Amino acid sequence: MKKIFQLAVIVILGIIPIGVNAQCKGFAKKICKVELNPYIHDGNYHAAILTVGEEAELYKTFYSATDYRISVCGTDNLGDIEFKIIDADRNVIYTNKSQQFSRIWDFRLESSQQLKITVKVPAVEGVTGDIPGGCVAIMFGFKEK
């Protein structure tokens, strides 16, 4: 009986992360991807479960003369998600903090560049107790000429 119980716990614990990540994909598809419209989603998927104060980084090459939209969104329990675009010399070239935490940003480059995107779940003042965790997704769209 004890072994059956142990086996059941093991199976359940093995399934939980897959379930959580599947929910993350569902969230990214239903919420984040929609915000790319009218841009075409490139098909790449970057999402993670983050808690307050945690940060994620993404490295990507963006090509000249291409219209891009970045969409960064998080589940409601996380509040506003902060993201920055940083160049190879570590200059912050955009932050959504100065744009009321806008979830999208449209841009075009004159020359191709590798950029870094940092995404952070800011701490909320006055919130105590368990640190909430939720899904954060970063997606990209482009326009066809």
Residue numbers at the binding site for other proteins (CB under 8 A): 5-6, 9-10, 13-14, 16-18, 21-22, 24-25, 29, 40-50, 53-61, 63-67, 84, 86-94, 105-114, 120, 135, 137-138, 140, 142, 144-145
| Residues sharing a CB contact under 8 Å with residue 22, sequence separation 6 or more, in sequence order | none
Q: How far is the CB of 79 from other proteins (least distance, A)?
A: 17
Q: How far is the CB of 20 from other proteins (least distance, A)?
A: 8
As a whole number of Å, the CA-based R_g of the chain is 18
Nearer to other proteins by Cβ, of 5 and 128: the residue is: 5
Q: How far is the CB of 126 from other proteins (least distance, A)?
A: 21
| Residues sharing a CB contact under 8 Å with residue 124, sequence separation 6 or more, in sequence order | 52, 79
Q: How far apart are CA 104 and CA 20, in angstroms?
A: 25
